[in-house]
Structure 1
Amino acid sequence: MTYRPNYHLSPPSGRLNDPNGITLIDDTLHVFYQHDPGFPHAPKRTGWGHAVTTLGEGIWRHLPDALYPDFPYDANGCYSGSSVFHEGQVRLFYTGNLKVNGERVTSQNIVDVDDLTGPAGGFYRRSAKNPIIDGPAEGYTAHYRDPQVSREGERWRMVIGAQRTDETGAIVLYFSDDLESWDFAGELRFHDMPEAVSHSYMWECPNLLTLRDRADGQEYQVLVFCPQYPESDQCVYVVGRLDGLDFHVTTYRTLDHGHEFYAPQLIPYEEDALMLGWMGLPGRDDTPTLESEGWVHQLTLPRRVWLDGGLLFQELVLPRSHEGMLVKSVELDQTPVLIELIDDSSVPGFSVSWDGEGVLEFGRESEVNRVACIPGQLVFTADGCAVEVTAGNGYVAASSAVFSSGGNPWGEIQVTQGT
């Protein structure tokens, strides 16, 4: 028995966290990710791992790690970032982390990639112009990271997660004509944002993109980010209109309602977006996989994400052939339903209950998350220790790491109507 999933990307060894630099070329999906290969037996050395799959096939092929913390500006970590595929050239953008006399020093940097699709999985050259952004703008601390770069009209736009000097979270913008020289534009100003989010101390992993709403055909801006609080780490999204630095919010919602989901990355995909998230949370690394198998955490399956009626809907991109993964589809209507993941000793490990009146519960041992949902199709998947559910035709998504009793393999997804 292994807890390792077949179709969810997990590290060969050590610790995996945020997905980085997602790049889709034709139907070939390259995913980089935060990787600390010696965790927990060696000093922290976070770089970028690299794996590739064919979208819809689902089997990952690991390639050599792309980045190691080897340069003076990233000696203590190559932290999260994004990729740009422009005029046949792939460029990675990442945050370099450095500790000087116990103080954090961060910078934003470029890596030029040659032959990404070749047998070696690419050759990686840090730009001689690094750091392209050397330290935070005035008014912000060194918690200034996770650059996401995209095209905005005639210019390039970079969004960065930040912390103000008063230790509250923010998102800042930069613009460039050539991807190398970046001008600070300022901080996003949010209108009609819930007041509670202002109490978070850091906003990580921002993704800013434009999607066309299937309901009215209009374009809206979508910002996905991770506000951190002293007692919790969350992942949310806002929808609205961006006018300069003013973001007029019409929707604010949690992105995933499971027990482990954080730091997703989204890229444009056809008329919608493609997303992968980290099935983990900061500081929660004590799982059975670490001691027994030498690795911890995995990414979600790729998800297609679209905007409909001001809300984000999500669909799991299931592998066409998914031998070794349990998949169950259930139609939610006015009938209560209990859906349980059972191991081969008939012990339940995870459950989804629907009350027939619009409330879903996701249960793992004593942890229960409740969320309002609409009727429609529910898709339940279990792949090793990775469990993902979408419900209400994608209205709700949930991701949880679930470890079976005594390491037993999963037996079935059991459905009981009328409970």
Structure 2
Amino acid sequence: MEEKLSGAATPAGPALSRRALLAAAIATPLTGVIARYGNAQGAPTIRIGVLADMSGAYRDTGGPTSLACAQQAVEDFRPAERGINVEILAADHQQKADVGAALARRWYDLDDVDVIVEVNNSAVALAVGNVAHDKNKIHLNTGAVSSDLTGRHCNPSLLHWTSDSWMCANAIAPHLVRDGGKDWYFIAPDYAFGHSLQRDTARMVEQAGGKVLGRTFYPFPSTTDYSSYLLQAVRSGAKVLGFANGAGDLQNSLKQAHEFGLHQRGIRITSLVTFITDIHSVGLEITQDLVLTESFYWDLNDRTRAFTRRVLPKTPRNYPNQEHAATYSGVLHYLKAVAEIGPAKAKASGQDTIAAMKRLPTDDDCFGAGRLREDGRKINATHLFSVKKPSESKGAWDYYKLISTIPAEEAFRPVAEGGCPFIQR
């Protein structure tokens, strides 16, 4: 008998077992079915594949907690009560685009998977999105950040939930320039995510009246020592150092910047894509006063707290961040569209399902009301936070102070500026 995580299972399905989480965390490229829901006789089974970094640098940022949030979405949807059968699968893309694309083909062709979610690597997401388009399936990206996913590399089968590089740049760069941070230097990983995040932020800095004095792209995912890049930033004379990286890379960068005493040198540190899991890992002593943006914070309001209470029994050591919340939100909205058009039609055509997802307004406990735009960009309000000082925090995971909220229609790049080729303007 499998040992269950604490917390009772809902009628829709079982709690995620420790064995299942461990299997996902140490995954060979492909795992079996993680959970099954519903027992409708004769009804087709909707299959959801969670493709993420289950064992590498982005494990806590996405990984098993995203898998738990996908399960929570299915449980909250209660497919058994709607006569719908659902299965969840999980796999590790290993931060490799070829591995991700091969897994997507196998899932779509051999395992009858209908939608792939998460994929917290922009290069992998672009590859999976292309496979989804070839197969008339869906890639519901809830992890990768490049704004190119709904810009020049958009396709009708790829949907983008929560943050992207344009949104992060739009929230953070003008605020810091107005606050005196006019001269910038960037350190970024040398792949699609880092390039798009650095590009979008540099543009926002310049539009706000600031200047970019330099940038460095480092090998990903092999870099762990950032000392030479930090020295280049110091020599540039920049007053703001922007880390355009994430997860383990970001955490190491913040720690090493603190060891180098960059703050004492008059250099302000900002991280352009930051999650509460990063703050928890690095600690408030190092991250205090850091300005960041997330679309979700577990303690933002009654609805976010209610969602967090439901999912924490599955992942008690890792509070949900906006990537985890996006996986919940995206899966829940996808299932609402399946119910709208029927599981048979949803399995037959990813495009018909996406059309239904775009017709239906989005609303959930993580992000509140929003919508899915014609270019596949899901929009909702986002928030600018500062990190609390250790003396201000009341305990573990009590880390953010709200600076401002950016309305949904202002938070994301306008459709007309994205260059999405399948949108006819």
TM-score higher than 0.5: no
> TM-score by structure 1 length?
0.26
Higher relative contact order (CA 8 A, sep 6+): 2
Whose strand proportion is higher, 1 or 2? 1
> TM-score by structure 2 length?
0.26
Whose helix proportion is higher, 1 or 2? 2
